[in-house]
């Protein structure tokens, strides 16, 4: 029987176990440049089979939160290289989650104070994290976006390609495309945020077009075996809405089969909330979603995420429902989470007051087992 602690190879990446550190925004990289805090934070967690970094914007336009690390400056690539070197020296594997937030941003974070961009000019009923006039981190309403012109979209696709190449230059084992949680790619997928009338809006095929163009660009650049993608079929995060998510997400799962991806990372239910959350009149069928990928010939490893504990994660892998399980908050408080799960050891409790912003406290000072 396959165990949560058995090795697995996903695409071109060999992992020591099936416990994954989920991407976690922590807002501790001023000027969008990773620093020594990130080196230590990720090094401590190298026991994970795979680390997925916090969301990492591919351009300043793609940035929606203050003090998150980017991939669009030489200094940021150099900073990330220190992180990847430390993780590899500790025996770990690490990919970076490349990110464009779309409308989930604020004018203070955008180049020249410009409006954020989106598929359609619909303001998100959401908040983002900025630094106020006193230098303190605070959450504030997102700014009204403008709709992308059709002629601009190819440039953003190419920004994703450049981000994937920058990730490899920084020493990452691969990348995860952030196509979840109401950010730009997800905004194109959902009818609640995409009211376009060109070839990127309307039908399921049109709304999936941007995602598939991005996947094609990054897999052509670095190879499908180093690319994963994160999807969240029913989450309401960042005001994401789709009254009938099954058809479009089954279509996406089917079309992704052609790219030879390393993995598909699925947030089940509401991000950080109920796993049985649904949008629309009927529950989302995750088994049918996975089967759509497999029936089309897709072999990507299947990663599940959202509120898993040791028992439910072990069951997901042992039953064959998933190949990998991602943990978020448990990894915040337990740098040695894999060992604790393996030994049935007690877990540290995370301090929510230190999730966003700050320095060592609540970041690199959680104790490991003796």
What are the residue numbers of the active site?
A: 183
Helices (H), the chain: 36-44, 74-89, 150-169, 184-189, 204-207, 209-222, 245-256, 286-295, 310-318, 329-333, 337-342
* CB contact set of 121 (below 8 Å; sequence gap of 6+): 144, 145, 146, 147
How far CA 37 is from CA of 76, 87, 229, 357, in Å, comes to 14, 13, 27, 12
How far CA 324 is from CA of 4, 6, 109, in Å, comes to 8, 10, 35
CA distance 210 to 200: 7
CA distance 358 to 175: 26
Furthest-apart CA pair in the chain: how many Å?
60
234-257 in b/e burial notation, b at 16+ Cβ within 10 A?
Answer: bbbbbbbbbeebbebbbbbbbbbb
* CB contact set of 249 (below 8 Å; sequence gap of 6+): 189, 231, 233, 284, 289
Pull the structure tokens for residue 133. Answer: 């006039």
SS3 at position 239:
helix
CA distance 209 to 316: 31
Would strands 13-15 and 301-305 be described as parallel, antiparallel, or unpaired?
unpaired
């Amino acid at each position: 029987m396959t165990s949560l602690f058995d090795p697995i190879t996903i695409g071109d990446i060999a992992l020591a176990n099936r416990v994954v550190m989920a991407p976690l925004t922590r807002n501790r990289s001023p000027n969008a440049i990773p620093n020594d805090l990130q080196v230590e934070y990720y090094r401590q967690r190298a026991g994970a089979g795979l680390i997925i970094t916090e969301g990492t914007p591919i351009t300043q336009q793609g940035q929606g939160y203050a003090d998150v690390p980017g991939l669009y400056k030489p200094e940021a690539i150099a900073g990330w290289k220190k992180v990847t070197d430390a993780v590899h020296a500790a025996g770990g594997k690490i990919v970076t989650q490349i990110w464009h937030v779309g409308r989930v941003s604020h004018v203070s974070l955008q180049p020249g104070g410009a409006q954020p961009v989106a598929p359609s000019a619909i303001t998100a009923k959401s908040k983002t994290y900025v630094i106020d006039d006193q230098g303190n981190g605070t959450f504030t309403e997102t700014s009204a976006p403008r709709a992308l012109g059709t002629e601009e979209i190819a440039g953003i696709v190419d920004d994703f390609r450049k981000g994937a190449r920058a990730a490899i230059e920084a020493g990452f084992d691969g990348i995860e495309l952030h196509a979840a949680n109401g950010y730009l790619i997800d905004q194109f997928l959902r009818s609640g945020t995409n009211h376009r009338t060109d070839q990127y809006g309307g039908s399921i095929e049109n709304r999936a077009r941007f995602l598939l163009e991005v996947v094609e660009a990054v897999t052509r650049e670095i190879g499908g075996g180093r690319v994963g993608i994160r999807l969240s079929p029913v989450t309401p995060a960042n005001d994401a809405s789709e009254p009938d998510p099954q058809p479009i997400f089954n279509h996406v799962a089917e079309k992704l089969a052609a790219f030879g991806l390393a993995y598909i990372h699925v947030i089940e239910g509401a991000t950080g909330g109920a796993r049985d959350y649904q949008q629309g009149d009927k529950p989302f069928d995750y088994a049918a979603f996975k089967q759509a990928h497999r029936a089309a010939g897709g072999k990507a490893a299947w990663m599940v995420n959202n509120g898993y504990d040791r028992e439910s994660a072990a069951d997901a892998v042992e039953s064959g429902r998933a190949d990998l399980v991602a943990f978020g908050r448990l990894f915040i408080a337990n740098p040695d989470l894999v060992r604790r799960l393996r030994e049935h050891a007690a877990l540290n409790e995370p301090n929510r007051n230190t999730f966003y912003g700050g320095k060592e406290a609540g970041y690199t000072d959680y104790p490991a087992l003796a």
